[in-house]
Amino acid sequence: MPLHPRAFSVTVIWTLLLLLLGSVVHATESSLACPDWPTCFGTMTPEMTGGVFWEHLHRLVAGGLLLMFGLATWLARREAVDSPWVFKVALAGLGLLLIQSLFGGLTVLYRLPDLVSTTHLGLAFVFLALATVLASSTRQGPRGVMSEAHRLRVRALASLSAGLVLVQSVVGALVRHMDAGMACPDVPLCLGQVVPPLVNAPITAHFLHRVLAMGVATVVIGLAVWARRSGVGDPARRWLDRAAYLAVVQVGLGVASILTVLAVVPVALHTVFAAALLATLAHAATIAHHAPTARSGAHEPAPAAA
C-alpha cells in the first residue's frame, strides 16, 4: 500500500496544528520572544519559558512540517509513478513552504511589519489548501458516484467558496497584524452603527472582515442547503454539511473574540476553524473532481430474462 497519501494527510493535520500555535503566539504577544532567526537568543535550544516556549515551539513544529512534507514529496516521487502530476504539485508545495518559512523569518527580523506578517499567514493558508488537494486526490477508498451536472457544480461552487474563505482569512490576518481586532469593540454593531465611519485603516479593515464573514457564511451554508435539496450524493454532501457547521462556529468564535476582548482561546480557535473550513471546502471540491460519473439508467432495474 502506498504511503504518500497518508503522509499528505498527516501534513494537513500538522499544518492545522501549526496555524493554531501561530495564533497562540500572536495572542500571547510572543511573536518577538525570540528576537533573532532562525536561532533563538543565538541557540536552537533556548530555555522554554514564557513567550519563548510558544514562539520556539512554533518554530520547531514548522521545521517538523517542512520535514514531513519533504518526506511526503519523496514518497510521491517513488510511489506515484502512474500520476506524475502528484510529485510536481508536491514539489511546488515544498517551494511554497520554504517561501512561507522565509516570510516567517522576515517577520521577526523586521519586527512584525503588517504586510510581511499578513503574507506569512496567507501563504500558510494557501499551502494548507494545496496539501489538502494532494491528500484528497491520492487517498484510497470510495469517492461516491455523482451525476455530471452535480460533479461540475459542486467542484465549481466548493472551489469558489474556498477562494472566498482564503480572501476572508487574509483580511483577518491583516486585522490581526494591524492590531485592529478591537477597532469595533461592540457586536453586532460597529462603534454603535451598522456602517461605522471608516476614518482609519484599522476600522476599515475590521469592518470589511465582518462584512466578508457574513457573506462567506451565507455562501457556504447556501451551498450545503443546495446540495441537500438537489440530492448530491455522499461523501461530497457530508463534507459540505461539515463546512456549513464550521462556518457557523467560525462566526460564533469571531463574536466571542470581541466579547472576551481577544482572549487567547477564542482568538486561536477562530484562526484554526477558518483553516479547517478552507480545508473542508478544498476536500469537497477535490472529491467532486475525482468522483466517477453516474451513467444514464445505471440505477434502472435490469430487464427480465425472456
pLDDT tens column, 218-256: 999 999 999 999 988 889 999 999 999 999 999 999 999
CA distance 210 to 275: 17
Cell 489548501 sits at which residue? 129
pLDDT band at 163 (very low <50, low <70, confident <90, very high): very high
Question: Looking at per-residue confidence, does 291 or 63 come out higher?
Answer: 63
**Residue range 93-144, pLDDT digits in tens:** 999 999 999 999 999 999 999 999 999 999 999 999 999 999 999 987 667 7
Tell me the angle at which helices 4-27 and 50-79 cross, rounded to the nearest 10 degrees: 160
Enclosing H/E stretch for 28: none
DSSP state of 192: T
